[in-house]
């Protein structure tokens, strides 16, 4: 029974980690590529670690809780590194498919004009709206 | 009291961290953990000038639970987006006006944003009033801002700042 649970966790973890890495290949600009490793990988490594904790706890040498620490550190550090990478990319003005908000570019140039409170123009492509899965939040 | 134990929350956290690291709870290790939890905050006092105060521990627990669920959801959302057609994605930068003021709350908010579906926090403005967020697939920036504010910023504000 435990073996089935462990195999399930390990396979899920491996699949999710693989999909997260696949994102690096499939996405088209730097900022989009950041999304794969920060998210899909967190749960992937998380379930591998749960499997590890269960396995070593079941081998009657006492419960093994190192893995919780690894998970906690991973959850704390992954967003920080992603944030710094994004910041560096913005600093270098890397090409991006996403539009900058109008206000931000204004502030970057030093003309802090809050009266320019214009909305970012909507993306023009509306043809494929229905096929794209919306995020469920 | 305040001088001897400047960070009442950090100390037990460090003690637990030590016990997890050595992976045992013999009395000796518990004592050493408590000693470390007491010494380290004293020695690193200059890095942490303000003590962290948690005003609503229950809200914090609920927030952590919410975050865990969202992280799991985020994984599947992003996995689906990766496997779908990347050409159809509509990435966008959104500027999030912040109501939070304390450093810890802002960094926790930025971390939460990165861990949750389809968004990565990219830059905090100089005056700490705006957070630039990159969304992977979003057509309505206002709805995204409203969601982040309602779901993550308000609980954090209740936990770490004035209600």
Question: Which tokens hold the place of B146?
Answer: 């409203």
Catalogue the E-assigned strands of chain A. Answer: none
Torsion A119-A125-A131-A133 (CA) sign: negative
Query: Tokens in use for A113?
Result: 């004009």
Does the beta-carbon distance from B79 to A96 stay under 8 Å? no
Tokens of A87: 């910041």
Distance, in Å, from the CA atom of A56 to the CA atom of A117, rounded to the nearest integer, reads 57
Query: Residue A35: which H helix or E strand, with range?
Result: helix A30-58
Instruction: Using an 8 Å CB-CB cutoff, list chain B residues near A99.
Output: 92-93
SS3 A123: coil
In the predicted structure, residue A52 carries a pLDDT above the cut 70 = yes
Q: Is the dihedral of CA B61, B65, B70, B76 positive or negative?
A: positive
pLDDT in tens, A69-118: 888 888 888 888 888 888 888 888 777 776 676 655 544 544 344 433 33
- B64 to chain A, any CB pair closer than 8 A? The answer is no
Report pLDDT for A122.
39
Average pLDDT over residues B47-68: 78
Q: What are phi and psi of B135, to 5 degrees?
A: -105, 140
Q: What token pair was written down for B48? A: 């942490």
How many residues comprise chain B?
A: 163
User: Above 70 in pLDDT, residue B139?
Assistant: yes
Residues of chain B with CATH 3.30.70: 57-160
Q: How high does pLDDT run on average in chain B? A: 79
Q: Which residues of B touch A9 (CB under 8 A)?
A: none
Q: Taking 50 as the threshold, does the pLDDT of residue B66 lie above it?
A: yes
pTM for the full predicted model: 0.70
Higher pLDDT, B27 or B118: B27
pLDDT beyond 80 at A36? no
d(CA A63, CA A56): 7
**Average pLDDT in the B46-66 region?**
77
DSSP state string for B98-125: ----SHHHHHHHHHHHHHSTTEEEEEE-
Distance CA B56, CA A60 (A): 39
ipTM: 0.74
CA distances from B122 to A72, A90, B16, B136, B142 (A): 22, 8, 32, 12, 18
List B94's β-bridge partners, or say none. B133
Range with the poorest average pLDDT among A111-120, B8-17, B20-29: A111-120
Other residues' Cβ atoms within 10 Å of the Cβ of residue A80? 13
Helix boundaries (H) for B1-102 = 10-22, 27-43, 57-83
Chain B contacts in chain A segment 23-82 (CB below 8 A): 23, 26-29, 31-32, 34-36, 38-40, 42-44, 62, 64-66, 68-69, 75-76, 78-80, 82
Report pLDDT for A37: 75
Of B74, B79, B89, the CB nearest to A32: B89
C-alpha to C-alpha distances, B79 to A51, A75, B74, B140, nearest whole angstrom: 21, 18, 8, 21
B57-160 CATH, one of 1.10.260, 3.30.70, 1.10.150, 1.20.1050: 3.30.70
**Helix, strand, or coil here: A113?**
coil
pLDDT tens sequence across B79-137: 888 887 767 777 778 888 887 777 778 888 888 888 877 777 777 777 777 778 888 77
Query: What is the interface size between A and B, counted as CB pairs within 8 Å?
Result: 166
Q: Over the stretch B93-109, which tens digit does the pLDDT of each residue have? A: 888 888 777 777 888 88
Domain ranges of chain A: 2-102
Q: Is a pLDDT exceeding 70 seen at residue A133? A: no
In what helix (H) or strand (E) does residue B135 lie, and over which residues does it extend? strand B130-135
């Amino acid at each position: 029974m435990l073996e089935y649970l462990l195999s399930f966790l390990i396979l899920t973890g491996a699949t999710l980690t693989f999909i997260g890495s696949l994102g690096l290949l499939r996405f088209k600009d730097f900022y989009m590529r950041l999304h794969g490793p920060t998210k899909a990988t967190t749960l992937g490594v998380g379930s591998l670690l749960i499997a590890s904790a269960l396995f070593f706890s079941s081998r009657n040498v006492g419960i093994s809780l190192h893995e919780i620490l690894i998970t906690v550190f991973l959850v704390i550090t992954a967003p920080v590194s992603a944030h710094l990478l994004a910041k560096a990319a913005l600093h270098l003005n890397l090409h991006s498919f996403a539009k900058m908000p109008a206000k931000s570019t204004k502030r970057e140039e030093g003309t802090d004009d809050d009266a320019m409170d214009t909305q970012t123009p909507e993306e023009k492509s509306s043809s494929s709206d229905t096929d794209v899965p919306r995020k469920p939040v | 009291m305040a001088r001897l134990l400047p960070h009442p929350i950090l100390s037990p956290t460090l003690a637990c961290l030590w016990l997890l690291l050595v992976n045992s709870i013999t009395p000796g290790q518990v004592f050493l953990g408590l000693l470390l939890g007491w010494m380290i905050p004293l020695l690193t006092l200059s890095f942490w000038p303000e003590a962290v105060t948690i005003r609503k521990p229950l809200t914090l627990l609920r927030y952590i639970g919410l975050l865990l669920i969202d992280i799991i959801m985020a994984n599947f959302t992003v996995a689906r987006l990766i496997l779908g057609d990347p050409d159809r994605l509509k990435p966008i930068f959104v500027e999030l006006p912040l109501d939070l003021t304390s450093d810890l709350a802002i960094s926790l908010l930025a971390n939460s944003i990165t861990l949750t579906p389809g968004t990565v926090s990219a830059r905090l403005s100089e005056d700490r009033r705006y957070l630039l967020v990159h969304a992977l697939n979003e057509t309505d920036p206002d709805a995204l801002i409203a969601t982040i504010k309602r779901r993550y910023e308000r609980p954090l504000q209740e936990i770490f700042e004035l209600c």
